[in-house]
Amino acid sequence: MDHAETVLRKHAWEVESVTFEALDCRLGPASLTVDGHAFEVRPGPSTVPVEASAPLLPVDSLAALESADLQGKIVVLHGAIASDQLFPKSFDFIDVPEHRRIYQLLETGAPAAVIGATGRGGGMGGGLYPYPLIEDGDFDLPNGYTTDVIGTDLAERAGQLATLSIDAERLPVRGRQLSAARGPAGAPRAIVMAHIDSKGGSPGAIDNATGVAALLAIARLLDDYDGPFRVELIPMNGEDYYASSGEHLFVAANEGRWDELLGTVNMDAIGAKDASTAVSMYAVSERGEELVRRVVRRHERVSLGEEWYESDHSIVAGHGRPTIAMTSTSFRELCATVTHTERDTLELVDPVEVTAAAEFVADLVRSLPAVGGPEA
């Protein structure tokens, strides 16, 4: 974050910094034994510690969870109920009633601990196998995760005595959210964003160092911008963090101001080797779409792609404002195999593609006067 601020100030952007409270977690070893048999288990990313011996209770559906007596049990969520990573409780940008109900039942049921047995392709879990079913510092029950294969084995051991040990410690920390702007105050605003955080344990080269590199390149490419609109650059801090701290600050700052947004651009997982940049549009007017298509035609490494919602542009689109998302054409493959893992390294990055994406956005911003005000 310090480097981003240095670059933004170097190119004469007006920079603001807001500090927020956050939570880190020190994770130690975890172990699970059932009737004398040892099973691999990992601590949940934001769990509290536990030392517990209790009967094992496998649960494979929401209906089964509704009727189960959870109190004092070590609950194993497997099968359909563990097919997607649960959205954190504070993630109020998307409402998933089933997820809310799962949290409610677990918290009121008072189990000794919860273990999620997960497979591959768990939505927000990215390329991890297994992925943590629960990643939420607001969920105060001990929790861990294991593979779906182990989950199948554990499901055959209902009622057997299980002993679970998780060494973990929650640590209060502070984070920062930056924003930078140039152009006339009070004018319609164009926002370019890329999340600056990465998932714990992942180098985060594609997800999302490339997006931040492009954002800082745009700061340089637009350092002489003197157009009629207010341009804002936001290295969003929290997209891969359970509390979405930067996103909540962004929404709060725009309450009552959404109509001022001419449009936003979000860059996430751009710049992959053997790929180009895909652009998708949300709540964009016909005039706006035509402008985007025209600019796309000027950039050979950029093309129109399919819609996707697994990033910060969904927040703006959810408020009905024009939004453009940019990612690599290999986005789905990257999500299934690379993102959120230790494999997300610089070897996967093509700097030429990152530069091309930045040049496209700068061109798009300079072309905005051809569209007009925020209702265009």
Structure tokens at 88: 């954190």
In this structure, which CATH number among 3.20.20.140, 1.10.630.10, 3.50.30.30, 3.40.50.150 belongs to the domain 26-170?
Answer: 3.50.30.30
Q: Which superfamily does CATH assign the domain made up of 183-370 to? A: Zn peptidases (3.40.630.10)
The two most distant CA atoms of the chain are separated, in Å, by 71
153-199 tens-digit pLDDT: 999 999 999 999 999 999 999 999 999 999 999 999 999 999 999 99
C-alpha pair distances (Å), 26 with each of 20, 43, 117, 203, 264:
20, 10, 22, 18, 36
C-alpha angle 28-34-40 in degrees, rounded to nearest 5: 40
Provide the residue ranges of all domains of the chain, joining segments of one domain with +: 26-170, 183-370
> Can you give the pLDDT at residue 126?
86
Report strand pairing: 50-59 vs 74-77: parallel
Provide the residue-wise pLDDT of the chain in tens; the chain has 376 residues: 899 999 999 999 999 999 999 999 999 999 999 999 999 999 999 999 999 999 999 999 999 999 999 999 999 999 999 999 999 999 988 889 999 999 999 999 999 999 999 998 756 778 999 999 999 999 999 999 999 999 999 999 999 999 999 999 999 999 999 999 999 999 999 999 999 999 999 999 999 999 999 999 999 999 999 999 999 999 999 999 999 999 999 999 999 999 999 999 999 999 999 999 999 999 999 999 999 999 999 999 999 999 999 999 999 999 999 999 999 999 999 999 999 999 999 999 999 999 999 999 999 999 997 655 554 4
